Structure 1
């Protein structure tokens, strides 16, 4: 399962249980559309840290990193590569 599919599955299970996976566009703005609120964002970040073994620091807490499935996937890729390279 790709990271996009894994992230999408989590978002659907936690925030959109009545929405089929194929109806959630990876570019949909989850924050502006009210799918994820501030508490949901904390839950998402905690899950990302656990699932992808990431440490999300204060600098990474830019809402644009978590605005859509695609943005979250890009964030995970960047954070994973930074963890590997030590930057």
Structure 2
């Protein structure tokens, strides 16, 4: 299940209050565009952890995971997927 609209709503509420939901492209680079800075990234990660009940570990802190709404959605989907253990 995609979380794109939920993620967009948060990004708009916190960082782009004058932008409509349909105006924010899921592939817009939030980091290069200056929408999310280092402090904003911490706020975004805390929101992801709380909203999606995920623990974002040190190895997950690759900026590519949080660069776009689509990347955040992919990260959430991957982190939420059941882990299989090889025997």
TM-score, structure 1 normalization:
0.93
Q: Which residue of 1 aligns with 2:83?
A: 85
Q: Which residue of 2 aligns with 1:66?
A: 66
Deviation at 1:73? 0.1
Give runs of ≥4 in structure 1 deviating > 3 Å: none
Aligned length: 85
**Alpha carbon RMSD of aligned pairs, Å?**
1.5
Q: Which structure has the highest helix share of the two?
A: 1
TM-score, structure 2 normalization:
0.93
Q: Distance in 2 between matches of 1:7 and 1:19?
A: 14
Q: Higher Cα Rg: structure 1 or 2? A: 2
Where does the alignment leave 5 or more consecutive residues of structure 1 unmatched? Answer: none
